[in-house]
Structure 1
Amino acid sequence: MPAPGGGLLRGERTGAGAGRPVVVLLHGAGMDSRLWDGVVPGLAAHHEVVRYDARGLGRSDAPVRPFDDVADLLAVLDHCGLERAALVGLSMGGETALDFALVHPERVAALGLVGASVSGHAWPDDDPEQAAYAAARRAGDAGELARLELSIWASLGRGAPGGALVEAMVAENAERRIVSEHYLTGAAALDAERRLGAIGAPALVVHGDRDHPEIGAIARRLAADLPHARAALIPDADHYLPLRTPERLVALLLEHLAKPA
């Protein structure tokens, strides 16, 4: 799929399900669309599903000039001929979905926010793990960034479901992420956290009980401030929830998407 400003975004469209809407899956930072490997089969039995690698991650081309994830998502929807879609995003992908819903509300049929971040959120200044994480990103230390990613966000470890794939995605995308984030623009200016009341799409807010505490705080804010939201806490899941408990997530999403908008 052509990316705005040049390059290609690579992904797939699958599923013979007749259910509407089409579902677009958005992965988080430092990951790629393999995050949804355990979810796509269950969703695709009922809905068409689109998933793609964000700019510079997975198989998508690295950016060479500033880019905006919201503009990239619009390009994907237009390329696929989708006037409206359900956006299901994890972490950075959830942030993109919320920003997109503010800019292009007519294109969003529903939201699935999984361990989502939100633009405009102020993370605690006194968290040493987050400070080390930010320092590794600033220094361009891909090895340290990957180590911290697994330590902070994949707390259930390699032995949990999807553990080997989590480690592979993090290792393979760490250096690409540093390059990509250098060119990333746009999200902070939207300040979606303070504009949640303007988002009318029905939203499912999901996070795992082993995720970072601040993700739990964001989830509670989303559930309280989005006008049409319901929340679910999933046990035995960290930030990589779609790989840890895919069956539970699929069940929640199918129930959510079956409800009239």
Structure 2
Amino acid sequence: MDATQQTVTTPDGTAIAVTRRHGGGQAVVFLHAGVADRRSWDAVAALLDDDDLDLVAYDRRGYGETPAADDPASFTHAADLLTVLDALGLDRVFLVGNSMGGALALDAALLLPEQVTGLLLIGAGVSGMTDDDTPFDWELDPATEPLLDRAEDASADVEARIAALAHLWLDGPVAPEGRVGGAPRELFADMNRRILEVGAPDSAGDNGIEAWTRLGEVSAPVTCTWGDLDIPADLPFYAEIARRLDQGPARVLPGVAHLPGLEQPDLVAGLVRDTLPR
């Protein structure tokens, strides 16, 4: 099916950029990572073209073609998601969330339990996540720490920051730099030039949900996955998310890092097929 590009206007007049592949059937909404935009799902959605699904991806505020809010506290990402769903006439949706998109998916499952039919989490964050109530601490390893420092250095050259971000999130910090090349790497760089240019704070659009202590309340079926090449300090947290959700074993994805939809879209398309409610 052909992908259509459209905008959905929020109550405050913000135009949210949306890509939709409307094949009927179940609605699947893809929620992108904080180092990506809606284009990170294009290859996955294309592989699902023949699956009779209604596939939607959109840019959150400050990403891709959706402008940032002047006041980061003037909106919530959950309200924007609901606006998109209402505008597209989607009453029941399956959410696929990567990283920060996973955090939004979990918040939405708590806020909109009647609309969310299930979740596929890929290296997901969780609102309110902390190591204060875990038997382990978040401690950076020697490979990750210098990459994170370079990526967050606002005084550094933009391309140098993007190179560090790509090694950190696309290759995986313990893998060789450039492990993932070609079109996925070029797309990653393009998405992050825009993200760095806009500079929206990570706290923008906070939903006011402390999902970390409420994961046991999520009623929708959830599948937790993460790449084994992701940041080592984050791996125990992914396992802890699955433990708190208590919905069965997680799936560790071999040979991929934080953005498997970019480097192995066929893997993620298969996960969507496997986890959609029947």
Q: TM-score, normalised by structure 1?
A: 0.86
Distance in 1 (CA, whole Å) between partners of 2:87 and 2:180 is 37
Which range moved further: 203-212 or 227-236? Answer: 227-236
1:170 to 170, 175, 192: 192
Structure 1 pair 6/113, CA: closer, same or farther in 2 (3 Å)? Answer: same
| SS at structure 1 position matched to 2:214 | helix
Alignment-mate amino acid for residue 75 of structure 1: T
CA offset digits 1:166-219 (Å, max 9, x no partner): 22222232222x2x22770424x4221111000011111111111112332222
1:24 to 23, 29, 35: 29
CA offset digits 1:114-145 (Å, max 9, x no partner): 11111111265653856984896585867265
Alignment-mate amino acid for residue 174 of structure 1: L
Structure 1 pair 136/241, CA: closer, same or farther in 2 (3 Å)? Answer: closer
1:36 to 21, 34, 41: 41
Alignment-mate amino acid for residue 188 of structure 2: V
Aligned pair 1:220/2:239, yes or no? yes
- The structure richer in helix per residue is 1
1:91-170 mapped onto 2 (5 Å cutoff) = 91-122=99-130, 126-127=139-140, 129=144, 133=148, 139=154, 143=158, 145-155=161-171, 157-160=177-180, 162-170=184-192
Query: Are the counterparts in 2 of residues 85 and 109 from structure 1 also a CA contact under 8 Å?
Result: yes
Distance in 2 (CA, whole Å) between partners of 1:44 and 1:52 is 17
Aligned pair 1:200/2:225, yes or no? no
Distance in 2 (CA, whole Å) between partners of 1:135 and 1:251 is 34
Which range moved further: 132-141 or 201-210? Answer: 132-141
Alignment-mate amino acid for residue 172 of structure 1: R
| SS at structure 2 position matched to 1:109 | strand
Aligned pair 1:235/2:254, yes or no? yes
2:22 to 15, 24, 27: 15
CA offset digits 1:83-131 (Å, max 9, x no partner): 1100101000000010111111111011010111111112656538569
Query: Are the counterparts in 2 of residues 90 and 113 from structure 1 also a CA contact under 8 Å?
Result: yes
**Partner of residue 186, structure 1:** 206
Structure 1 pair 216/183, CA: closer, same or farther in 2 (3 Å)? Answer: closer
The structural deviation recorded for 1:230 is 4.2
Cα RMSD (Å) = 2.6
Query: Are the counterparts in 1 of residues 61 and 68 from structure 2 also a CA contact under 8 Å?
Result: yes
Structure 1 pair 4/59, CA: closer, same or farther in 2 (3 Å)? Answer: same
CA offset digits 1:48-100 (Å, max 9, x no partner): 10101111210112212232111111111111111110010100000001011
Q: Percent identity?
A: 32
Which range moved further: 222-231 or 239-248? Answer: 222-231
Distance in 1 (CA, whole Å) between partners of 2:202 and 2:275 is 36
Structure 1 pair 183/243, CA: closer, same or farther in 2 (3 Å)? Answer: closer
The structural deviation recorded for 1:42 is 2.4
| SS at structure 1 position matched to 2:239 | helix
Query: Are the counterparts in 2 of residues 166 and 240 from structure 1 also a CA contact under 8 Å?
Result: no
Alignment-mate amino acid for residue 65 of structure 1: D
> Which protein has the larger Cα radius of gyration, Structure 1 or Structure 2?
2
Alignment-mate amino acid for residue 30 of structure 2: L
Structure 1 pair 17/215, CA: closer, same or farther in 2 (3 Å)? Answer: farther
Alignment-mate amino acid for residue 204 of structure 1: T
Query: Are the counterparts in 1 of residues 30 and 95 from structure 2 also a CA contact under 8 Å?
Result: yes
- Which ranges of structure 2 fall in alignment gaps of 5 or more residues? 1-7, 132-136
The structural deviation recorded for 1:146 is 2.9
**Partner of residue 45, structure 1:** 50
Structure 1 pair 160/133, CA: closer, same or farther in 2 (3 Å)? Answer: closer
Distance in 2 (CA, whole Å) between partners of 1:29 and 1:225 is 23
